[in-house]
Structure 1
Amino acid sequence: MTHTAVVAWSGLLLGLLFGVAGRLSGFCLMRGLANAWAADPSQRDQRKLRAFALAMVVALLGSQVLVSLTPLSLNDALYRTASLSWLLVPLGGALFGYGMVMANGCGARSLVLLGSGNLRSFVVLVCLGIAAYMTLSGVLAPLRVWLEGATTLTLPARDLPGWLMQAGLGATLARWLPSLLLAGGLLTWALSSATFRASPRDWLGGLVIGALIPSGWYATGVLGFDDFEPVRLASLTFIAPIGESLQYLMLSTGTRLGFGVTVVAGVLAGSLITSLASRGFTWQGFPDHTRILRSMGGGALMGIGGVLALGCSIGQGLSGVSTLALTSFVAVAGIAGGAGLGIRGPLALSKV
């Protein structure tokens, strides 16, 4: 089996595990933020948000351990850029965050819901994939490129360790100091809730999904390493891969399955298998035209915003943060801000 085939099969396996864990645990950043920021204090529930924080801890520490034990370098990851658009990255994050509230879930969650028979998610995913490719290489690409050129700043370093090394710290200390401080803070907050600790559905979901991030780096960066035909270093992310999956369905002849496409297929299959096995598969449609428009608009905003921000709530929030890339923290702040506008802000969708 070639190294590219190994990577493709690895992506399918990781996607299956994500689909199963996502279906059983209800893992979702949007749901976590919505529950935590509910207007009625008596209805607030932070378990899903704490599960996401736990996943960040596992993704971050697992990725750094992987770098320590293997020749893998995360410098080739998409998120570790030498420059940053001060406009597009936070704006893209905000568009994505608002869009996932409109669509009632991010791209990954929409795949999981589609596997359980939710046809609203099908509309979200199609609009997301089309909008993403319009922004990557379609009619919106020239505007994106022009705005990037007009608003790009050179960063002092690609990541937090690089920044600390410039301040005089050694490479090992510069990498582990921010990793342990960030992971320790998130872990302390996540486990400080007795309700969360008593909910194995949530903390197990966070543990499993967090562990998939270093597994993705290992699959593409170690198993996929080849001097003559290198595989692009990547882990779990869902904006461009959903667009690539739609493209593959239409133009598969003469093309080869990539890691992102097999992850998407695996998530859908894992959720479907779990839904059928638990007898939880039910067809769900739209109650009215308003919900259709919200799903279409939410998917489009996530596609555009995810490209501008270089990732989604999983891509930047877990994979990106696991590399300690500076752009990831800016994008995650934008995603949280956009979601806040949709949940409780002046543009809250409950007021529309």
Structure 2
Amino acid sequence: MESSAQLVILAGLVIGLIYGSVGLLSGFCLMSSMRGFLAEGDGRLVRSYALAIAVAIAASQFLAGNGVVDLGKSIYLQQSFSVPVLFLGGLLFGYGMVLSNGCGSRSLVLLGRGNLRSFVVVIVLAIAAQMTLKGLIAPARIALVQASQTTASANSLPSLLATLGATEAISRVLAAAAIVVALILFAFAHPAFRRSPGQIAAGVIVGLLVAGGWYVTGYLGADDFNPVPVTSLTFVAPIADALQYAMLSTGLTLNFGIATVAGVLTGSLVTALATGRFHLEGYSSPRHMLRSGAGAALMGIGGVMAFGCSIGQGLTGVSTLALGSFVAFAGILLGTTAGLRGSLRVQPLAVA
């Protein structure tokens, strides 16, 4: 293995370790954020998530604007994409996240803390994602994409502004600045959030980890002879790849995503043991397990259709300012809201 590829894998492991530790200590999670915001009246977590998006956009666009990383090489900034499939995938993922009581990244964090329910979620999510990527569900997904995809003249907010006559550099600054300022104002307008240094730190660190992933894969991994995919934090496909690697490692190659998954699990475990938070938990009933598994399957299918999860699209994809990422993220938010409120609300179950 080339040295640049080894460096990317090592950096992915470190990024995962930090994310796992921060995720455990802060409770960083979109589903928990939305539940606190919509149902419990606690807006601190959702502001932490908003701050993470702002930091991720600012740092990622700084790297792209200075030519350090070419975000155009990522999967998010494609000229052809399917709005219906991205949105539907987001809906499925968001609703599945509520059924399973957490997304893929949160399940890894909780698994490191000893939550055995999350073990089921991770395994089922990985299988469903692999089926949607390459297995029985793949032909239907590909047919839907081919039937509905369009080729857009503008695939990002900066390129959309550029069609109005602004230069690429000005368009990038205007688009990024408008979103970043709005998100920061939203976050710090909440007095309880301003008095929560831990949540502020979590938002800043996670946002910087997204930019760090871009730097690692887009700059450190930029080897003309052995290039690595330009990517950052995302969890649906990497969890599927990690499970496959665990079973068939002799025929596969380690990559940034697999290393990140391993890092998140390890970081959470070490932090849980060091802080006395590790304890085994299980399902309260067969119905609880069935619902959790169904949610994991929806997340695996929806996450592949949406090209990412609440982290992969909500932070990493949005940090590129790709129009498709905003569509997918809107679907995730709507699906999560449907699961928390209204006629489709998922009723809470007692947890052992």
TM-score (norm 2): 0.97
Other-structure match for 1:233: 230
- 1:61-83 alpha-carbon deviations (Å, 9 max, x no partner): 00011123343210011111212
Q: CA deviation at 1:24?
A: 0.6
2:251 and 2:332 map into 1 onto residues whose CA distance is 37
Other-structure match for 2:16: 15
SS in 2 for 1:253: helix
Residue identity matched to 1:82: Q
- 1:34-53 alpha-carbon deviations (Å, 9 max, x no partner): 11111xxxx31111100000
Q: CA deviation at 1:84?
A: 2.4
1:243 aligns with 2:240: yes
Contact 2:214/2:232 (<8 A) preserved: yes
Count of aligned pairs: 348
Cα RMSD of the aligned pairs, angstroms, is 1.1
1:279 and 1:112 map into 2 onto residues whose CA distance is 15
1:34 aligns with 2:31: no
2:200 and 2:348 map into 1 onto residues whose CA distance is 33
1:218 and 1:87 map into 2 onto residues whose CA distance is 31
Q: CA deviation at 1:196?
A: 0.3
1:94 and 1:304 map into 2 onto residues whose CA distance is 11
- 1:97-156 alpha-carbon deviations (Å, 9 max, x no partner): 000000000000000000000000000000100000100010001111111111112222
In structure 1, stretches of 5+ residues that fail to align are none
SS in 1 for 2:170: helix
- 1:8-48 alpha-carbon deviations (Å, 9 max, x no partner): 0000000000001001100000001011111xxxx311111
Please give the residue correspondences for 1:21-100 in structure 2 after superposition, counting only pairs within 5 Å: 21-38=22-39, 43-100=40-97
SS in 2 for 1:252: helix
1:164 and 1:186 map into 2 onto residues whose CA distance is 20
Other-structure match for 1:4: 5
1:33 and 1:156 map into 2 onto residues whose CA distance is 34
2:68 and 2:110 map into 1 onto residues whose CA distance is 37
2:252 to 247, 250, 255: 255
Other-structure match for 1:182: 179
Which region of structure 1 is more displaced relative to structure 2, 150-159 or 48-57?
A: 150-159
SS in 1 for 2:347: helix
Q: CA deviation at 1:175?
A: 0.4
1:24 and 1:340 map into 2 onto residues whose CA distance is 25
Residue identity matched to 1:208: I
Other-structure match for 1:330: 327
2:139 and 2:234 map into 1 onto residues whose CA distance is 24
1:60 and 1:81 map into 2 onto residues whose CA distance is 18
Which region of structure 1 is more displaced relative to structure 2, 308-317 or 252-261?
A: 252-261
SS in 2 for 1:169: coil
1:71 and 1:112 map into 2 onto residues whose CA distance is 31
2:68 and 2:315 map into 1 onto residues whose CA distance is 21
In structure 2, stretches of 5+ residues that fail to align are none
1:212 and 1:351 map into 2 onto residues whose CA distance is 33
Q: CA deviation at 1:254?
A: 4.0
1:65 and 1:161 map into 2 onto residues whose CA distance is 13
1:269 aligns with 2:266: yes
Runs of 4+ in 1 over 4 A off after TM superposition: none
